């Protein structure tokens, strides 16, 4: 749905390179995580898509068409620094932003009604923004972002400021939007959200893309052939000899259970066979690195 080809952007008359030949492909109706350390270039890319700033070179396409001002109405952008008017009422604010996106008043009202029900905020219409808490205001910002039914939704840290219950509420709404065909770019530092929600990710470091792909494939790529094992009723003598033959790390004994991580360069079925002789197998699973580990690893190796 969105394609970026060799996008390069500099600031300060070319002295500061913020994006260096950045290319990605965002499939339709997917959630695409845009990750990277502070200052990597994520916001710069998002601003280019939103036409707040222009790339020095390279191109961005939406559904095969070169990015142009007509696309703005198809995009919903929730920036990290939220931009609502403190002294305006919630209702007026929503109608104003709806109008900016080309909606009729009636359409904006009926969409607002839908979202106010979904987010359980029916009583807030007449309140001033200054009367709302940070999390409450953020719900309004979310409504403003999705009101005009954008085909492309760009969310920058959408969960910051929400308590766990409201974060879940917003997460479910984002997943629902995706299931209904919206394409979503999610920029976040919360790796657990990436694991839970994203289909694809790209990681930017020092202005360059250092990896991209399906979340599952990216995690698989970083795995180190480590298996976690828990055994009960362990034969101590056999376990000692096993320990001397295989590489064991993170060993612990608790409530008659022995758990350890095992680096396995052998066939895993053979390994399981060996383990079965030592005790009763309670669990045996391959350790796939978390997105947090992938992030730290990828950034460390690309510094
Ligand atoms: N208007 C600007 N003028 C000069 N330099 C800028 C400007 N905006 C961003 N930069 C620089 O460009 C680089 C990329 O910044 P960007 O805001 O895109 O990073 P980011 O990945 O969004 O970071 P964060 O996770 O902290 O939000 C940084 O080194 C930043 O200092």
Average pLDDT per block of 10 residues along the chain, 303 residues long: 97 93 97 95 95 96 95 91 83 92 93 93 88 89 95 94 92 96 95 94 95 94 84 87 77 71 74 87 88 90 76
Q: Is the distance from the beta carbon of residue 205 to the nearest atom of ligand 1 less than 6 Å? A: no
Distances in whole angstroms, Cα of residue 264 to Cα of each of 20, 223, 230, 238? 39, 12, 15, 18
pLDDT for residue 242: 82
| 223 Cα to the center of ligand 1, angstroms | 31
pLDDT for residue 67: 96
Q: Measuring from atom 18 of ligand 1, which residue has the nearest CA?
A: 41
Q: Is the distance from the beta carbon of residue 75 to the nearest atom of ligand 1 less than 6 Å? A: no
Q: Which atom of ligand 1 is nearest to the CA of 189?
A: 25
Residue by residue, DSSP assigns the chain as -EEEEEEEEEETTTTEEEEEEEEEEE-TT-EEEEE-STTSSHHHHHHHHTTSS--SEEEEEETTEEP-GGGGGGEEEE-SS----TTSBHHHHHHHHHHHTT--HHHHHHHHHHHHHHTT-GGGTTSBGGGS-HHHHHHHHHHHHHTT--SEEEEESTTTT--HHHHHHHHHHHHHHHHTT-EEEEE-S-HHHHHHH-SEEEEEETTEEEEEEEHHHHHHHT--SEEEEEEES--HHHHHHHHHHSEEEEEEEETTEEEEEEE--S-HHHHHHHHHHHSEEEEEEE-PPPHHHHHHHHHHHT-
| 300 Cα to the center of ligand 1, angstroms | 20
Q: Is the distance from the beta carbon of residue 188 to the nearest atom of ligand 1 less than 6 Å? A: no
pLDDT for residue 85: 84
For the chain, list the domains and their CATH numbers.
Answer: 2-220 (3.40.50.300), 224-287 (3.30.70.260)
Q: Is the distance from the beta carbon of residue 39 to the nearest atom of ligand 1 less than 6 Å? A: yes
Q: Measuring from atom 4 of ligand 1, which residue has the nearest CA?
A: 11
Sign of CA dihedral 202, 203, 209, 213: negative
| 41 Cα to the center of ligand 1, angstroms | 6
pLDDT for residue 227: 82
Q: Which atom of ligand 1 is nearest to the CA of 36?
A: 21
Q: Measuring from atom 31 of ligand 1, which residue has the nearest CA?
A: 39
pLDDT for residue 300: 86
* Cβ within 8 Å of residue 172, ≥6 positions away: none
| 53 Cα to the center of ligand 1, angstroms | 12
| 42 Cα to the center of ligand 1, angstroms | 8
| 7 Cα to the center of ligand 1, angstroms | 15
Q: Measuring from atom 14 of ligand 1, which residue has the nearest CA?
A: 41
d(CA 212, CA 205): 12
Q: Is the distance from the beta carbon of residue 38 to the nearest atom of ligand 1 less than 6 Å? A: yes
d(CA 161, CA 269): 47
Reported residue count of the chain is 303
Q: Measuring from atom 2 of ligand 1, which residue has the nearest CA?
A: 11
Q: Measuring from atom 30 of ligand 1, which residue has the nearest CA?
A: 39
The pTM of this model reads 0.88
């Amino acid at each position: 749905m969105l394609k970026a080809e060799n996008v390069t952007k500099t600031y300060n008359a070319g002295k500061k390179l913020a994006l260096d030949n950045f290319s990605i492909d965002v499939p339709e109706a997917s959630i695409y995580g845009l990750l990277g350390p502070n200052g990597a270039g994520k916001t710069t890319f998002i601003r280019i898509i939103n036409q707040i700033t222009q790339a020095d070179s390279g191109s961005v396409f939406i559904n095969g068409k070169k990015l142009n001002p007509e696309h703005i109405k198809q995009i919903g952008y929730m920036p990290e620094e939220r931009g609502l008017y403190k002294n305006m009422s919630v209702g007026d604010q929503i109608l104003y932003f709806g109008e900016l996106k080309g909606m009729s008043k009636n359409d904006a009202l009926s969409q607002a009604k839908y979202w106010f029900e979904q987010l359980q905020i029916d009583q807030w219409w007449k309140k001033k923004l200054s009367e709302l808490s940070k999390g409450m205001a953020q719900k309004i910002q979310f409504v403003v972002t999705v009101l005009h039914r954008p085909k492309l939704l760009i969310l920058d840290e959408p969960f910051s400021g929400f308590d766990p219950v409201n974060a879940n509420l917003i997460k479910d709404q984002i997943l629902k939007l995706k299931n209904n065909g919206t394409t979503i770019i999610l920029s976040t530092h919360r790796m657990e959200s990436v694991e839970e929600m994203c289909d694809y990710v790209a990681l930017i470091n020092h202005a360059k893309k250092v990896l991209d792909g399906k979340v599952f494939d990216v995690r698989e790529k970083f795995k180190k052939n480590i298996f976690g094992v828990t055994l009960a009723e362990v034969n101590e003598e056999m376990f000692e000899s096993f320990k001397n033959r295989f590489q064991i790390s993170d060993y612990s004994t608790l409530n008659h259970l022995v758990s350890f991580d095992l680096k396995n360069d052998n066939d895993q079925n053979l390994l399981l066979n060996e383990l079965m002789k030592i005790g009763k197998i309670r669990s045996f699973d391959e350790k796939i690195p978390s997105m947090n580990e992938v992030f730290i690893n990828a950034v460390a190796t690309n510094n």
